[in-house]
């Protein structure tokens, strides 16, 4: 696992083309919750279906939450650039 924890920071694109950013320890479960369960975020409930467009690992829950905050602070064009720069849904990064 290269010293990284099980936490992930992720971004989904909603049906209305907006982005939602969150953290989880289980991406598959969380995306399923966003797309159909009652446990999906309130924001995504009216914007289904959602599609996973970005994720990155985080060492701890605290690191994941800090990175989530950083991503949420980005403009839409900066979020799109981040997604485009990665070129895939998941990559490795060292998070302090």
Note the pLDDT of residue 94: 42
Decide which of 95 and 86 is more confident: 86
Residue 85 is inside which H or E element, if any? helix 76-86
In the three-class reduction of DSSP (H, G, I as helix; E, B as strand; rest coil), residue 23 is classed as strand
pLDDT digits (tens, 9 = 90+) for 32-74: 999 997 788 899 999 999 999 999 999 999 999 999 999 999 9
Delimit the domains of the chain by residue range.
7-86
* CATH of segment(s) 7-86: 3.40.1440.10
The per-residue pLDDT of the chain, averaged, comes to 88
Q: Is the pLDDT of residue 14 over 70?
A: yes
Note the pLDDT of residue 88: 53
């Amino acid at each position: 696992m290269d010293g990284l924890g099980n936490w992930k920071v992720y971004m989904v694109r909603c049906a209305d083309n907006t982005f939602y950013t969150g953290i989880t320890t289980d991406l598959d479960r969380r995306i399923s919750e966003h797309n159909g369960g009652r446990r999906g975020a309130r924001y995504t409930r009216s914007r289904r279906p959602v599609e996973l467009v970005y994720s990155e690992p985080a060492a701890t829950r605290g690191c994941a939450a800090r990175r989530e905050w950083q991503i949420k602070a980005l403009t839409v064009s900066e979020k799109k650039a981040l997604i485009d720069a990665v070129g895939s849904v998941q990559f490795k990064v060292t998070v302090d």
